Structure 1
Amino acid sequence: MKLNKPQRAAVEACVESNVVVIAGAGSGKTRVLTHAAAHLVNSGVDPRNILLLTFTNRAAGEMRDRAGQMIGGKKNPIWASTFHSFGARILRKSGAWVGLDSDFTILDQSDVGSILTAIRKELYPSKEAANNMLPKTAEIADTISASCSLLIPYPKYIEEQEQYHEGMKKALVQVYQLYEEHKRKCSQLDFDDLLYYTFRLLGEKEPRVQLRKRFRYLLVDEFQDTNVIQARILYRLIGKRNHFMVVGDDAQTIYTWRYARHTNLFEIVERYEERGTQLVKMEQNYRSTQAILNLANAFQDQMEKQFQKVLWTETKGGRLPEVRKYDDQRAEAQAILQEIRSHQASDVPLDDIAVLYRTNRCPTLLEIELLRAKIPYKKYGGLNFNETAHIKDMVAHLRAVTNPKDAQACFRALKLCSKVGIVTAQKIIGQAGTKLTERIYAYSDAPGPALTALKELLGSLEYTKDPVAAVSRVTKYYLDLPATKASDKLERIEADCAALVEVAAGYKDVRSLVNDLTLNTDSDKKKKEKDHLTLSTVHSAKGLEWPVVFIIHCFDGRLPKLNMEGEGDIEEELRVAYVAVTRPHRKLVITYPGTIRRYKDTIPTQMCRFLTEADDGLYEFQDKTDPYKVYRERQQRQYLHRRRFRY
């Protein structure tokens, strides 16, 4: 495919000028970067003088290979890597300038968590004291990453955090100092250190001069996703003479929670304006129909600070995006399942269909429906609902009752009890008795509070026929466990407990619920299904595309994501919505439930405000709610009441 006029202008300008490319969704930014690299080489630039920076190793390899093919298929010496890989490589060679050994090891997130947990326990052996004086380990790690990403000294960063009391601030600084000391002693760097020491290295004159001589041309992908320190690294490499091309889309900055700054795009234009930096806008879209792009443009128009652009395509017309309202989450999930089946019947491959959502809690009911319908799917941006450890834990208690011979379930339930280890659990399972409650009693007639609580739960479950009641008892028990209360993921666990109760409401008996929850949720990995539906968070879907896309749970609170007070970063959420609606080729369906359940409460929802503020002629609204739903629900409640009374 030939380059269009803006693409060609950007490519041809990169030899003599600095170029900032504002690349709208689906406008071919990867083609521009690879053509720019090839054009530089074909114009006489030594490939070794080109540095191409991006955010994933896969993207770096893909662009390196494409550029290599364009310059004759020879061995391609263009250096293409992520910011972190670039930092690791130059620090191996020149890290002595900033006090590093060349044989340093790189810590992954798990390593960092283990070290910080050990330091936390060393400072505060008591769990109660640790929880009073320090946040959870994951939050400590996040504060350390934030201070590096924002180039703010850690003590100053912590001092600015109003959510911590003075004692906690001092304790956090102490943890940080011990963490840094540990890394120095062990010659270790975490991912943030790779950026920090690269920035420091470029602050030293001799290595800075050498690297500037080596990399005369700097090409950067997804520049809107850079944070402060990454932008500063680039600026130090550019200096006063080197050329650059950065490609990005301010409307697709959806990683501010990882400290990305979409303002970096505005900043680099202003910073190098005197050097004749050219601003090129790529607005022609090669992915979606104009009908879909019109809605995307409407979302973009709602953004406060932006590079003005209007997406357009030569593919005229197309179906209007559909916005559908359903009674509740279950009706929404069942309707989407039926439409997926309809697409299958029309020979549309599952690979061509994606269901997108704002957070991982959104697709829970849909996952269960897909499992029951045996439709293979892959989930991106998190584990499948019933693959998470806490859901497996809770289901284990139900399994232990529905099938007392299930040794694995019994073992898992026992291991959750405090002061019950592997040996004790095995001894209990080995006792005489057909039920786990009998085995616990056979093991000891005074089993202690933890085992007593488990025995009481299992005993009550044996006589609980209603799935909602059974699951409610299990979730209450699980949330009261000391290990659950101390978990870093307590908020997620609480949300999934509520979701599990909602799932149970769709079943008539506990055994059927357990059967569906214990099915292989990874779409049968062993069979390695080629054709599968995609379930993905919007963040994980960025850069991807499908012919047919459903966006679910598009109501205020989920998309946009808001807190209990109805507050949130609306600009960020608007960009998330923009990314979502620019994924499909030809069909876009946006859905939301009219009500949601929050434990026992039924709460009405409001359609996503971004849709409300757009011209309603840009989409087709369909009200799929049932006007007789209230009457039927009353009948269902009466039936359930009679059923519970019967048992």
Structure 2
Amino acid sequence: MPAAAYLETLNAEQRLAVEHGVGSAAGPLLVIAGAGSGKTNTLAHRVAHLIVNRADPRRILLMTFSRRAASEMMRRAERVVARALGGAGGGLADSLPWAGTFHGVGARLIRDYAETIGLDPQFTIHDREDSADLMNLVRHELGLSKTAKRFPLKGTCLAIYSRAVNAQAPVEQVLGQAFPWCAAWSAELKSLFAAYVEAKQRQNVLDYDDLLLYWAQMAQEPAIAADLGARFDHVLVDEYQDTNRLQASILLALKPDGHGLTVVGDDAQSIYSFRAATVRNILDFPKSFSPPAKIVTLDRNYRSTQPILEAANAVIGLSAERFTKNLWSDRRSDRRPRLVSVSDEGEQARYVAEAVLENREAGQKLKAQAALFRTSSHSAPLELELTRRNIPFVKFGGLKFLDAAHVKDLLALLRFAQNPRDRVAGFRVMQLLPGVGPATTARTLDAVVAAPDPVAALV
């Protein structure tokens, strides 16, 4: 089989991105991947191409937006390697150990360097709900839950704190830009956040924001940064438009010269701003290096018809600052997308329900129709309207498995067993015991924290 036969399914631009340098000295690469342009397939082929060309998979760092995306990327790369090597690519998931999310990789690296940075390696990690609970405990301790005027609730306090950490911005700036109604509480919020950080340190817990913050701070130490960078010959990042300033600083510290660094994303899809994500990261990436990073644009769309892409191109073209691209497809259609203006959510729901019924009368099955929402919570008016009209439907999305109460109870028990100083986990576990209330729980946890041997205190 010809050496590059496994690349024949790629179009010219995809192949250009995949074949860009295979040595660790390869210059930085930015792949601007338009919607539906085969981004995942291209990145998987690049990983496979590096491995086929003798790159050590244990020295490849692949970071994606979710664990599911990382698993899918590895499955695809494994299939490509198997085709290239005549079936010898099995087990890539095991031999590519550094594939995951920024937060997952950060957690592993922080444990590796914990003692170097003065952190107990047995730390536990709080999810968003646990972090909000700890924030609430500190909030009560400071008396901020009994203020004469409305003080932000725990979720809002955590959101402000998280944005300040991830955007690397002062609290006053975050309040002015995203939480103006909380601006009067600036001094109290600063005190709350300082106490929250102290509580985490006492309990030996990290929250999700710490996984980036500690990693970024580690990377600012020259000796640790050099050691971190030397671990990986190639660093590949997916969905780069959804990264924040902390994540960008981590990448630049790992590969300051850009050698072996590939980022993939689309500035036009920077719409969510999760964890203070900023489009500036992808817009400024090429000029972060000298010479500037190579840019490869994927603009052939494999999902949509040309009329839809023409509408999308017109909207994208209104952006004041962007990477130039013109999405196109060889899928033709006479049907054009329709823009419908409605006065409120109720009218929107009625319009969609009536359109569903019209399509059904025209012969289109109900299960062949779909309504998409940006977030699950926006579906309520349509769900009510469909129910009122006796139109059956299936809703995808909603509460995540790990957010279910019984799952969080079990995880809290495991965390408490590993780290008895984790007050949030202990509080949740003890509340499951019959006859144990908040007061008894608080006294017990105080004794655990004060004891030299927390396990003995529990016994």
> How far apart are 1:349 and its partner, in Å?
5.5
- Amino acid aligned to 1:48: R
Are the structure 2 counterparts of residues 278 and 120 from structure 1 closer, same or farther at C-alpha, using a change threshold of 3 Å? same
Contact kept in structure 2, 1:14 and 1:36, CA below 8 Å: no
> How far apart are 1:100 and its partner, in Å?
1.3
User: Which of residues 51, 69, 82 in structure 2 aligns to 1:41?
Assistant: 51
- Amino acid aligned to 1:291: P
> How far apart are 1:378 and its partner, in Å?
0.6
Q: Deviations over 1:489-542 (max 9, x none)?
A: xxxxxxxxxxxxxxxxxxxxxxxxxxxxxxxxxxxxxxxxxxxxxxxxxxxxxx
Contact kept in structure 2, 1:27 and 1:283, CA below 8 Å: yes
1:263-412 to structure 2, matched below 5 A, reads 263-272=280-289, 274-275=290-291, 277-325=293-341, 330=346, 332-344=348-360, 348=364, 350=366, 352-357=368-373, 363-372=379-388, 373-380=390-397
Residue 122 in 1 paired to residue 141 in 2? yes
Q: Which residue of structure 2 aligns with residue 83 of structure 1?
A: 102
1:213-232 to structure 2, matched below 5 A, reads 213-232=230-249
> How far apart are 1:117 and its partner, in Å?
1.2
1:491-640 to structure 2, matched below 5 A, reads none
User: Which of residues 65, 68, 73 in structure 2 aligns to 1:55?
Assistant: 65
Contact kept in structure 1, 2:286 and 2:292, CA below 8 Å: no
SS in structure 2 of the partner of residue 96 of structure 1: coil
Unaligned runs of 5+ in 2: 1-7, 83-88, 401-459
1:197-208 to structure 2, matched below 5 A, reads 197-208=214-225
CA distance in 1, matches of 2:63, 2:75: 14
- Amino acid aligned to 2:242: D
SS in structure 2 of the partner of residue 97 of structure 1: coil
Q: Deviations over 1:137-173 (max 9, x none)?
A: 2221112111211123658867999947887222111
CA distance in 1, matches of 2:274, 2:63: 21
Residue 8 in 1 paired to residue 18 in 2? no
CA distance in 2, matches of 1:204, 1:63: 32
> How far apart are 1:26 and its partner, in Å?
0.6
Bigger strand share = 1
User: Which of residues 11, 23, 29 in structure 2 aligns to 1:19?
Assistant: 29
Q: TM-score, normalised by structure 2?
A: 0.76
CA distance in 2, matches of 1:162, 1:328: 25
Contact kept in structure 1, 2:139 and 2:145, CA below 8 Å: no
> How far apart are 1:320 and its partner, in Å?
1.0
CA distance in 2, matches of 1:332, 1:7: 40
CA distance in 1, matches of 2:224, 2:367: 48
> How far apart are 1:301 and its partner, in Å?
1.2
SS in structure 2 of the partner of residue 21 of structure 1: strand
CA distance in 1, matches of 2:108, 2:146: 40
CA distance in 1, matches of 2:352, 2:172: 50
CA distance in 1, matches of 2:171, 2:353: 49
CA distance in 2, matches of 1:161, 1:313: 39
Residue 181 in 1 paired to residue 180 in 2? no
Are the structure 2 counterparts of residues 348 and 85 from structure 1 closer, same or farther at C-alpha, using a change threshold of 3 Å? farther
> How far apart are 1:30 and its partner, in Å?
0.4
SS in structure 2 of the partner of residue 51 of structure 1: strand
> How far apart are 1:236 and its partner, in Å?
0.9
SS in structure 2 of the partner of residue 120 of structure 1: helix
Q: Deviations over 1:323-359 (max 9, x none)?
A: 3456875554344224324545666555543323456
SS in structure 2 of the partner of residue 219 of structure 1: strand
Q: Which moved more, 1:313-322 or 1:6-15?
A: 313-322
RMSD over aligned CA atoms reads 2.7
- Amino acid aligned to 2:73: M
> How far apart are 1:316 and its partner, in Å?
2.2
Q: TM-score, normalised by structure 1?
A: 0.55
Q: Deviations over 1:303-332 (max 9, x none)?
A: 111111111001123411123456875554
SS in structure 1 of the partner of residue 370 of structure 2: strand
Calculate percent identity across the aligned residue pairs.
36
Q: Which residue of structure 2 aligns with residue 255 of structure 1?
A: 272
- Amino acid aligned to 2:229: R
> How far apart are 1:55 and its partner, in Å?
0.9
Are the structure 2 counterparts of residues 177 and 191 from structure 1 closer, same or farther at C-alpha, using a change threshold of 3 Å? same
Q: Which residue of structure 1 aligns with residue 120 of structure 2?
A: 101
- Amino acid aligned to 2:57: P
Q: Which residue of structure 2 aligns with residue 524 of structure 1?
A: none
Q: Which residue of structure 1 aligns with residue 158 of structure 2?
A: 141
CA distance in 2, matches of 1:264, 1:33: 19
Residue 234 in 1 paired to residue 244 in 2? no
Q: Deviations over 1:249-298 (max 9, x none)?
A: 101101226311111112111112x2352111111100100011111111
Are the structure 2 counterparts of residues 219 and 333 from structure 1 closer, same or farther at C-alpha, using a change threshold of 3 Å? same
> How far apart are 1:381 and its partner, in Å?
6.0
CA distance in 2, matches of 1:329, 1:202: 47
Q: Which residue of structure 2 aligns with residue 68 of structure 1?
A: 78
CA distance in 2, matches of 1:312, 1:205: 46
CA distance in 1, matches of 2:233, 2:37: 27
Are the structure 2 counterparts of residues 155 and 189 from structure 1 closer, same or farther at C-alpha, using a change threshold of 3 Å? farther
Unaligned runs of 5+ in 1: 384-647
Contact kept in structure 2, 1:284 and 1:311, CA below 8 Å: yes
> How far apart are 1:87 and its partner, in Å?
0.3
Contact kept in structure 1, 2:103 and 2:208, CA below 8 Å: yes
Are the structure 2 counterparts of residues 168 and 324 from structure 1 closer, same or farther at C-alpha, using a change threshold of 3 Å? closer
> How far apart are 1:2 and its partner, in Å?
1.1
CA distance in 2, matches of 1:340, 1:330: 16
Q: How many equivalent residue pairs?
A: 380
Residue 194 in 1 paired to residue 206 in 2? no
CA distance in 1, matches of 2:174, 2:382: 42
Bigger radius of gyration: 1
Are the structure 2 counterparts of residues 301 and 164 from structure 1 closer, same or farther at C-alpha, using a change threshold of 3 Å? closer
Are the structure 2 counterparts of residues 161 and 36 from structure 1 closer, same or farther at C-alpha, using a change threshold of 3 Å? closer
CA distance in 1, matches of 2:349, 2:196: 46
Are the structure 2 counterparts of residues 202 and 127 from structure 1 closer, same or farther at C-alpha, using a change threshold of 3 Å? same
Q: Which residue of structure 2 aligns with residue 243 of structure 1?
A: 260
Q: Which moved more, 1:197-206 or 1:280-289?
A: 197-206
Contact kept in structure 1, 2:48 and 2:77, CA below 8 Å: yes
- Amino acid aligned to 1:93: D
CA distance in 2, matches of 1:26, 1:355: 19
Q: Which moved more, 1:246-255 or 1:134-143?
A: 134-143
CA distance in 2, matches of 1:125, 1:150: 25
